[in-house]
Amino acid sequence: MELLPYIKYIAVLILVLGLIGLLTLIARKFGMVAKADGKRGEKKRLGVTQVASVDAKRKLVLVRRDDQEHLLLLGPERDLIIEQNIPIKRRPEQENRPSPFTTETEQQEPLAPKLPPLHKRVEQSK
């Protein structure tokens, strides 16, 4: 059994992979690859919070934008907005901190009014 052809195949494979890597580096150097990231250390305004599969073709995606979230149903035929402008629930340790998107002169208002429990609202409407 001859080992020389196998060694040649492996050497050519390494050469081709090296050329692909080199072309990728050149493309990045000259800006041929789009960059979606902002500056380092800068708080990102857009992000995917959570993804859940509904079935084999459709997914529910919770997208965060600034201080709002949007629930999207993504599928092969069409994309639907299920719910939009959902206020982000803050953890207790975050409530005392100001939002990075507001200035000091802006006053923060509650994101959603506090409602009484449902059984009390039903009794009041009768």
Is residue 125 pLDDT above 70, yes or no? no
Global pTM value: 0.43
For 61-108, write each residue's pLDDT tens digit: 999 988 889 999 999 999 888 888 888 876 666 555 555 555 554 455
The mean predicted confidence, pLDDT, of the chain is 79
Q: Which pLDDT value is given to residue 17?
A: 98
43 compared with 2, residue with greater pLDDT? 2
Cβ-based neighbour number of residue 72 at 10 Å: 18
CA distances from 52 to 80, 112, 116 (A): 15, 26, 31
pLDDT band at 10 (very low <50, low <70, confident <90, very high): very high
Mean pLDDT confidence for 3-20: 96
Is residue 119 pLDDT above 60, yes or no? yes
Q: Which two tokens stand for residue 99?
A: 């939002």
